[in-house]
Amino acid sequence: MDADAPVEVPVAANSPEALRERIAMLRDACSAALSVEELVVIAVAQTAAATLAAGGVLFLVDGDELVTAASVGYSAEALARWSRFPLSADTPAGSAVRQRRGQWISHPRDKARCYPHLAQNLTGYGALAALPVASGGSVLGVLGISFRDAREFTPVERLFLLLLADQVGVALERVRDAGRADEAVRRDTTATSTHRRLFDRLSGVENLRHAAAVLLESALALDGVAGVVLTVEDEQTGSGCRVTHCDDPRTAATLGLLTTADHPSAGVTVRLLERRDLIGIPRGEATPPAEPGIGGAAQVLMRGHAVVGSLALALDGRADPGLLRRELLDLAQVGRVVLDREAANERRQLAAGRAAFLTAATANLEASLDVDETLQRMARIAVPALAEGCLVYLNERGRLRLAAATHLDVRVERRIRPELGEDPAFVRLVKSALHGPAATDVVLPDWLHAGRVSTTPLRARDKLVGAIVLLVAPSDGRPGLADATLMTDLAAHAAITIDNALLYATRSAEVAALQQRLLPPRLPILPEFDLAAYYEAGDRSLDVGGDFYDVIVPAPDRLVVLIGDVCGRGADAAAITGLARAVLRTVVEDGASPARALRRLNAAMRAAGERGEFCTAAVVQVDGRGDACRLRLAVGGHPLPLLRRGAETTPIGRHGPMLGLVPAPVFRESDIALSCDDVVLLYTDGVTEARRGRDFFSPQLATAVAGAGRSAADTIARTVAAVERFRDEGNDDIAMVALRPRGRAVTSVEVPELGDPSVLPRIFAAIGEALSGDAGARCELSRRVASALARLPEPPAGRAYVDVLRRPGRWRVEISRPAPRDGRADRRGAATPSGPVVPGSIRALRHGVQTLVSEEVPAHDA
Amino acid sequence: MPESSSVLVVEDNVFDLEAITRILRRSHPYLRVHPLADGGEGVRWLMSAARLPRLLLLDLNLGGKDGRDVLRDIRRESALERLPVVVLTSSTNPRDVEECYAAGATGYLFKSADFSLLQSTLTAGIEYWLRNAPEA
C-alpha cells in the first residue's frame, strides 16, 4: 500500500442522524451569536469539532480581498502569511470564492499540482477543503478546514461540509443584518423613532392582510416614494395578498412585476433601480414603464420562515439613496418578522379550525341513520367554513341524486335543488370531476356567485357512494379550511357513514321482508265462527317474536286453532316460529289429531334444533257447524285455554310436556261439547305473566274474560285493555286467539260497501231467503236489523259480511267486517311518509272480524 | 372597505359576544361592530339608527325575546325588509333552519363552540355578505 495514498477517514460519525445532529449543533450555536466577531469564532470551533479537523479558518470577503476573521489549529506563521490576500490569488480560498464551489484537496501532491506556487506547506496538514460561505446569492467568505492526514472526501462528507458552510452563511447574514439594523438605529435618531412607531403599529395588527397594509403605508410614508406594491405569500398554505398604492397604472404594473422576482434563500435584500433598469423588465407592451417623474424603483425582497414578501416602490428621485436603503432595510427586517408572526398565527388557527370542523362534522354524521338529514346537517356546518355552498350527491345505481344542499344565502339555497340539482350540465360537471379531469365547458350560473366548483368523491368499501361539491368563491387570498387533507378526511367519514346507513336500510328492509313472512296470517272469514286474534311482539325493535298462532280449515266441518310460544326472545325465537307454524299446519291439514300434531312438532323441534330450542303449544280442533260442535284439544307445556260459557270462565284441557324436550312425549286430549256463543280463548304466557311489581296478571285473566262482551273481538279487546292497565312494563310477546261458534249459517252475503243504499234490500232478501218458512221471525228480524243498522254512528267504510244463522230455537243475523289488521305506529316520528318500513314499527296486530250488528229472534218453525 | 360599514350583533351571552366582536375586528378591522344584548330592542335600535348596518348577526337562542320573534318583528317593518339578517346558532337541525328561513332569515351560520372554527365561519360569512349585501 502506498504510504502516501489518501485514506478515507469518516467525518465525525457517518450515520445520517449523527451528521444531522452536528449540523443542528452548529446552527444552534451560531444562532446564539450576537456579533460577527462572536459568530466567526463559534463557527470555526464548531466546524472543527464537527469534522474532527485539525484546523479551521474563516475568511471574510472585504472588497476584493479575503481577510482572516477567525481560526483554530494553525501556526502563527501561517496566520500571518494569510491574514489578508487578494480574491484573485490562486489559492483554494480564492478559487472557492471565484467559482462559488467547494475546493477539495485530498493530498499534498494535489495541492502542489493545482497550486504550484504554494510550494511551502506552512500548515503541515495533509488535506483541506475550502468552502464558500454564501447567503442571498452573495459569497460572504470562505470556510477552510484542514485535516492532518491525506484523505478522500466522500460525496456524503462533501455534502455535510457544504451544509455546514451554508449554516455559517445564514448565521453570518443574520448577524450582519441585525448589526446593520442596530447601526442604523444608533446612527439616526429619526430612524429610531420611526422604527419604534413602526414596531408599535405592527404590534397591533390583527392579521396578515392588516400587517401588509401597515407595511404599505409605512413604505409610502418614506421620502421619495411615489407608489408602492406589496405582495405577501405563505408558501405553505398558498394564501397571501397584494396591496397597492399607486396612482399610475403603468407604474403599478411595473411595480407588480418587480414583486415577482425570486426571493433570497433567507433574510432581506434591497435593490435600488434606475429608470433605465425598469425598461428592461418585460411587460409585453411598448409603453414607458412608469409615469414621468418616476426616476427609479426599489425592490425589497423578504424571506421569513413562513412567508415571502416583496415590496416594490416607485421613487421620484428626491430621496437620498443611502438613507432610503437603510430605511427600507429597517422596514423589511421588521416587516419580515411581523409577517412571519401573523402567518404562523394564521397557520395555527387554520389547523385548529380544521380539527374543530372535522370533530363537529363527524359528530353530526354519526347522529342519525337518516342519510339525507345527516348529510344536510354536515353540509350546514360546511358552509361557510369550507365554501359558500355545499352540495352532496349520492350515487344510486349509477345515477347521482342530490341529497343535501346548503348555501350562505337563502335565496341561492332555495334555487339550488330545483335549478341545479338535476341540471344535466351541472351533474355532468360533477361526474366528470369524479372520473377524471373536470369538464371545463360548463358555465356556472351567475346567481350562484361561485368562482369555481370543487368536487371530492365519496368512496367506501371500494365503491363510489357519492360526491361532495363545494361552491367556492373567487379567491381573495385568505387561507381557507378546505385543503386536500381535510376534504379527504371529511369524505372518508361521510362515505363510510353513508355506506353504513344504506347497509342498515338494506338489512332493515330484508329483516322487514323476512318478518312479513313470519307474522301471523290473516284469519279466515267463516260465517259460522267468530274469530279474533291479537299479536304483540315484546322486542320493540322487531315486529315478530316467539309467539305464534294459526287458524286452519282442513275440512268444511273442521276448524283447528293453534297457539304456541317458542322459548327465547327476539329474532332467534322468531325464526323458530316459522318452523313450528309450518309443521303444525302441515300435519293438521293432513288430518292429524291435536295430540298427534303436537307429537309431530316435538319431533321436528328435536330434529331441527342444534341449540336445544323448545316451545309450548296448544291445538284446539272444532268439529261441526256453528250451532253444535265438539272440541278436542291437546296442550304441550302451554297455558290451558279458557272456556267462557254464560257467566262462567274456566280453563279446559290437560297439561302436557313442553315440545322439543323429550323424545316421546304423551299428550292427553280433552273432548268437550261446544255450544253457540261459547268463547274459547287461547293465549300465551305474556298475558298471564304480565307484571306489576311482584304481582302477575294471571289471577285476573278469568275475570277479564268473563266481563267481556259476547264477540270474540270484544273478548280479546277487553283482555288486552285489562293487561295494559295492569302491567307496569311490557317486554314479553303477547298472543291471543278467541273463537265463538255463532250458529249454523243459512245464508251469507258479502257487501262491498255497508253504507250503500242498496245494502238493506239485499239484507232483507237474504233474511227472506233464509227464513222463508218463518214469516213471523222474518219480519221481526228484518225490522231489528234495519233498526240496528240505523243506530250505527256512521256506516263503516269497506266490505262487510251479512250472515243469517240458525241456533237452537232462534234466528240470528250478524253483520261483521274484517278487523283492521295492524295498528301501525311510526315510532320514529320524523320519518318521511314514503320511507321504508322499519322493523319495530308495527305496534300490534289485530285479526279477525268485528261484529257490527247481532240481532236474533225466536224461531217459529219447529 | 368604507369606514361607514357596520354590523349589528344581537347576542346576549357576554362571552359569545366578546368572541364574535374579537373575530370581526381581526378579520375586518375597518368594520364597525355594534353589540346589542337585548333582542327586544333590535327593532327600536334599527329604526333609530342614522344609517342601517350592512348586516345583522342574530343569535337565535336569546334569553329574553327569542331570536325567531326578533326576526319576525324586523321583517314586519318595511324599512328593514332589505336588511340582511343572518342567524347564528349551534343547531344544524333542518327543521330549525326552515323555521328561520320562514321567519325571514337571509342566511344561517353554524355557531361552533370552538373559537377557530367560529372564526373561519364568521370571517367567510361576513365577507360574503359585505360583498353581496345591498348598501343601506
Cα angle A747-A750-A754, degrees, rounded to a multiple of 5? 120
> Which of B108, B115, B117 lies nearest to residue A385, judging by beta carbons?
B117
* pLDDT given for residue A63 in this prediction: 85
Three-class DSSP labels, A473-508: CCCCCCCCCCCHHHHHHHHHHHHHHHHHHHHHHHHH
Is the pLDDT assigned to residue A357 strictly greater than 80? yes
Q: How many CB atoms lie within 10 A of CB A699?
A: 9
Contact of A239 with chain B, judged by CB distance below 8 Å, is answered with no
Q: Is the pLDDT of residue A541 over 80?
A: no
Q: Which residues pair with A762 in a beta bridge?
A: none
Question: Do residue A376 and residue B117 have CB atoms under 8 angstroms apart?
Answer: no
Give the model confidence (pLDDT) of A67-125 as tens digits. Answer: 998 888 888 888 888 889 898 888 999 999 999 999 999 988 888 888 887 756 667 78
Q: In this prediction, what percent of chain A has a pLDDT beyond 70?
A: 86
Give the model's pLDDT for residue A190. Answer: 52
Do A411 and B106 lie within an 8 Å CB cutoff?
Answer: yes
Which of B116, B122, B126, B129 has the highest number of chain A CBs within 10 A, making it the mutation to test binding with A? B116
Alpha carbons A575 and A566: distance in angstroms, whole number? 9
Secondary structure element (H or E) that encloses residue A824, with its range: strand A822-824
Q: How far is Cα A23 from Cα A21, in angstroms, rounded to an integer? A: 5
- CA-CA distance, A610 to A606, in Å (whole number)? 8
Query: Strands A679-683 and A642-645: what pairing?
Result: antiparallel
- Residue B3 has what pLDDT? 41
> DSSP for A380-409?
HHHHHHT-SEEEEEEEETTEEEEEEEEESB
Is 80 exceeded by the pLDDT of residue A838? Answer: no
Residue appearing with cell numbers 405577501: A232
- Mapped onto helix, strand or coil, the DSSP state of residue A293 is coil
| Cβ-defined contact of A385 to B128 (cutoff 8 Å) | no
What does the buried/exposed string (b/e) look like for A62-81 if buried means 16 or more CB atoms within 10 Å of the residue's CB?
eeeebebbbbbbbeeebeee
In this complex, the residue of A385, A409, A414 whose CB is nearest that of residue B120 is A385
Tell me, what's the pLDDT at A281?
Answer: 64
Q: Do the Cβ atoms of B107 and A473 come within 8 Å?
A: no
- Could you report the per-residue pLDDT of A670-706, keeping only the tens digit for each? 999 999 999 999 999 999 988 888 888 999 999 999 9
Nearest CB among A359, A376, A410 relative to B106 is that of: A410
Q: What share of chain B is helix, strand, coil (3-state, %, to 5)?
A: 50, 20, 35
- 3-state SS assignment for residue A831: coil
pLDDT bin (cut points 50, 70, 90) of residue A766 is confident
Using the predicted structure, report yes or no on whether residue A264 has a pLDDT greater than 70. no
Per CB-CB distance under 8 Å, the chain B contacts of A478 are: 123, 127
- Does residue A563 or residue A448 have the better pLDDT? A563
The answer to whether A5 contacts chain B (CB < 8 Å) is no
Decide if B119 and A353 are in contact by the 8 Å CB cutoff.
yes
Q: Specify which residues A499 forms β-bridges with.
A: none
Backbone angles phi, psi at A851, to 5 degrees: -80, 120
Give me A10's grid cell: 469518516
Q: Which of A383, A412, A417 to mutate to test the interface with B (most CBs of B within 10 A)?
A: A383
pLDDT tens by residue, A362-401: 888 877 778 898 899 999 999 999 999 999 999 988 889 9
| Residue range A489-509, pLDDT digits in tens | 999 999 998 888 888 878 877
pLDDT at residue A193, rounded to an integer: 66
Of the candidates B100, B124, B128, B127, the one whose C-alpha atom is nearest the C-alpha of residue B112 is B124
The C-alpha cell that represents B84 in the structure block: 340582511
A522/B75: higher pLDDT: B75
Residues of B in contact with A364 (CB under 8 A): 92
Q: Which tops the pLDDT comparison, A21 or B72?
A: B72
* Mean pLDDT value of segment A198-223: 84
Question: B26 to chain A, minimum CA–CA distance in Å?
Answer: 5
The answer on pLDDT for A283 being more than 90 is no
Say how far apart CA A328 and CA A588 lie, in whole Å.
105
Q: Which residues pair with A44 in a beta bridge?
A: none
> Are residues A480 and B110, on separate chains, in Cβ contact within 8 Å?
no
Q: How far apart are CA A228 and CA A239, in angstroms?
A: 20
Cell numbers found for residue A341: 408572526
Task: Kindly state the cell numbers that stand for A687.
Answer: 298475558
pLDDT winner (highest mean) among A290-294, A343-347, A647-651: A647-651
Reduce the DSSP state of residue B97 to 3 states and report it.
helix
Q: Which of A97-111, A811-825, B94-108 has the lowest mean pLDDT?
A: A811-825
Beta-carbon separation of A409 and B132 below 8 A: yes
Interface contact flag, B110 A380, Cβ < 8 Å = yes
Q: Chain A: nearest CA to B109, how far in angstroms? A: 7
Distances (CA, A) of A834 to A133, A503, A507, A785: 77, 19, 18, 42
Neighbour order of strands in the sheet with A267-274? A240-245, A225-234, A307-315, A296-303, A267-274
Counting one residue from chain A and one from chain B, the pairs whose CB atoms sit within 8 A come to 90
Q: Would you put residue A125 in left (φ > 0), alpha (ψ -120 to 50) or beta?
A: beta
Phi, psi of B46 (to 5 degrees): -65, -45
Chain A's closest residue to B87, CA to CA, is: A408
Mean pLDDT of B96-123: 91
CB contact under 8 A, B129 and A408: yes
Kindly determine whether residue A206 and residue B25, on different chains, have CB atoms separated by under 8 Å. Answer: yes
Q: Is the pLDDT of residue A259 over 80?
A: yes
What confidence tier does A14 reach under pLDDT thresholds 50, 70, 90?
low
Q: Indicate the SS3 state at residue A772.
A: coil
Length of chain A: 862
Q: How confident is the model at residue A545, as a pLDDT?
A: 67
The pLDDT of residue A12: 47
Confidence of residue A827 (pLDDT cuts 50, 70, 90): very low
Q: CA–CA separation, A600 vs A758, rounded Å? A: 50
**Window from A28-37, A524-533, A832-841 with minimum mean pLDDT:** A832-841
- Per the structure block, which three cell numbers stand in for A432? 366528470
Question: In the sheet that B32-36 helps form, which strands lie side by side, from edge to edge?
Answer: B32-36, B6-10, B55-59, B85-89, B107-110
Percent share of chain A, pLDDT over 90: 29
End-to-end distance of chain A based on CA atoms, in angstroms? 144
How far apart are alpha carbons A561 and A296 in whole angstroms?
108
User: What values do phi and psi take at A521, rounded to 5?
Assistant: -75, 165
Is beta strand A389-396 parallel, antiparallel or unpaired with respect to A240-245?
A: unpaired
Query: How many angstroms away from the CA of B78 is the closest CA of chain A?
Result: 19
Q: Which residue did the predictor score with more confidence, A305 or A186? A: A305
- In a mutational test of the B interface, the residue from A409, A470, A475, A476 whose CB has the highest number of chain B CBs within 10 Å is A409
Judging contacts by C-beta atoms under 8 Å, the chain A residues touching residue B112 are 356-357, 360, 381
Give CA–CA dist A812/A528, Å, rounded: 11
Residue of A nearest to B30 (CA): A210
Chain B interface, mutation test: which of A201, A202, A206, A446, most B Cβ atoms within 10 Å?
A206
Is the CB of A356 inside 8 Å of chain B's CB atoms?
yes
Q: Minimal Cα–Cα distance from B86 to chain A, Å? A: 9
Picking from B29, B121, B132, the nearest residue to A206 by CB comes out as B29
Contact indicator for A46, A40 with CB cutoff of 8 Å:
no
What ipTM is given for this predicted complex? 0.93
Instruction: Kindly state the average pLDDT of the residues A254-267.
Output: 76
Q: Which chain B residues are closer than 8 Å to A414 by Cβ?
A: 101
Residue in A closest to B97 by C-alpha: A380
Q: Which residues contact A274 (CB under 8 A, 6 or more apart)?
A: A295, A296
User: What's the mean per-residue pLDDT of chain A?
Assistant: 83
The candidate with the shortest Cα–Cα distance to A598, out of A578, A615, A584, A577, is A584
Q: Which pairs count as long-range contacts for B1-5, CB under 8 Å and 24+ apart, including other chains?
A: B1/B28, B1/B30, B1/B31, B1/B130, B2/B30, B3/B30, B3/B32, B4/B32, B4/B51, B5/B30, B5/B31, B5/B32, B5/B53, B5/B54, B5/B130
Tens of pLDDT, residue by residue over A312-343, are: 999 988 888 888 998 898 888 888 888 888 88
Confidence at residue A824, expressed as pLDDT on a 0 to 100 scale = 42
Among the partner-chain residues B25, B97, B119, the one whose CB lies closest to the CB of A349 is B119
- Flag whether pLDDT at A284 surpasses 70: no
Q: Do A384 and B121 count as a contact with CB atoms less than 8 A apart? A: yes
Is A408 near chain B, with CB under 8 Å?
A: yes
For residue A768, what are the contacts with CB-CB under 8 A and spacing of at least 6?
A778, A782
DSSP string, A646-678: TTEEEE-S---PPBTSSSS-----EEEEEETT-
Taking the CA of residue B132 and the nearest CA in chain A, the distance in Å comes to 9
pLDDT band at A441 (very low <50, low <70, confident <90, very high): low
Q: Which helix (H) or strand (E) holds A169?
A: helix A155-187
Cell matching residue A302: 423578504
Verify whether the Cβ–Cβ distance A353 to B106 is below 8 Å.
no
| Residue B2 banded pLDDT, cuts 50, 70, 90 | very low
Q: Of the given ranges (A57-61, A135-139, A705-709, A738-742), which has the lowest mean pLDDT?
A: A135-139
pLDDT at A653: 96
A637: which strand partners? A617
> Please, what is the angle between helix A16-31 and helix A36-51, to 10°?
160
